[in-house]
Amino acid sequence: MKKIFLLLFVCIGFLNCSDDDGDSNSLLGVWVWTGSSGGIGGVIETPESTGITMKRPCKNFAHRSMIILGRSV
């Protein structure tokens, strides 16, 4: 009986596998900061409230950089 369940489990496992990974580049592009919240005081900050615009280009998963545009006066 255990062998039947094991065989059934393995067969179902193989049926759920596929070669199609979908759109693996869906996270790549330019990320724009829209807001932050949390901390002890529960502060909510947005680009409008701080005057700071942040963009993070994501060219590949190993690329790390950030563009911070200063406060507008």
In a domain, 65, yes or no: yes
Note the pLDDT of residue 72.
Answer: 43
Note the pLDDT of residue 59.
Answer: 75
Q: What is the 3-state secondary structure (H, E, C) of the chain?
A: CHHHHHHHHHHHHHHCCCCCCCCCCCCCEEEECCCEEECCCCEEECHHHHCCEEEEEECCCCCCCCEEECCCC
Note the pLDDT of residue 31.
Answer: 86
Domain of 54 in residue numbering reads as 28-73
In a domain, 19, yes or no: no
Q: What is the pLDDT of residues 2-49, one digit of tens each?
A: 777 677 766 676 666 665 555 555 677 888 899 999 888 889 999 999
In a domain, 45, yes or no: yes
In a domain, 61, yes or no: yes
In a domain, 58, yes or no: yes
Q: What is the pTM of this model?
A: 0.50
